[in-house]
Amino acid sequence: MRETVEDKILTKIKKAKRGTLFFSNNFTSFGSSETVRRLLNRLVEKGEIDRVAAGIFVRPEIDKIIGKITPKIEDIADAIARRDKAKIVPTGAYAMNMLGLSTQVPMKIVYLTDGSARNIKVGNYTISFIRTAPKNVAAIGKISRLAIQALKSIGQENVSQVEIEQIQNALMKEKVSHLEHDIRVAPAWIKEIIRYSLQKLKGNE
């Protein structure tokens, strides 16, 4: 029996591991944008996939105890960045949360990007991508880029010694090569905070 466009879309989705995010434009080779949109909606209605946000879908991971596992905000943002070939970095309260400085997850999660500015609604949350100069997304370390943005959010005049020590301890888990790169793109006052962790790490080599 001839495979339908819907079958082709579902086959492609099932070839990837559960939890993989898909965009509508991943399937444009199978048909027009309108056809793909309609068939993805049908697969959502059938329970084959879930809609994460407008134009973003997932065949969710299933946990034996808790059931469906919802994709993390960070994974959604990273998938969008890969699609757009853009660099992103979390800022503000979300960067502080990811770094362990705060337990609060903001309803509006802000990323700086060198790609397109946009807002993505994900459940009760909004992911906001704000376009910035490339230098502001130049940090490459997963921890050090969070540290830089968290410190910028707190501010030089407001950061406490306790927060500095927490950040320096977190930076001890970063790669030396990443710290060596990112210290060069950090503001002067943040360089000194990073330098402490970098020197300590290099002393342990």
Position 205 scores a pLDDT of 59
- C-alpha distances (whole Å) from 70 to each of 91, 108, 110, 120, 135 are 22, 18, 20, 16, 33
Q: How confident is the model at residue 202 (pLDDT cuts 50, 70, 90)?
A: confident
| Mean pLDDT of the 140-168 span | 95
Q: Which residues pair with 122 in a beta bridge?
A: 125
Position 2 scores a pLDDT of 66
Residues 190-200: tens digit of each pLDDT: 999 999 999 99
Q: Is residue 68 packed enough to be buried (19+ CB in 10 Å), middle (13-18) or exposed (0-12)?
A: exposed
Ordered by where they begin, the domains of the chain are 5-68 (1.10.10.10), 73-203 (no CATH)
Position 54 scores a pLDDT of 93
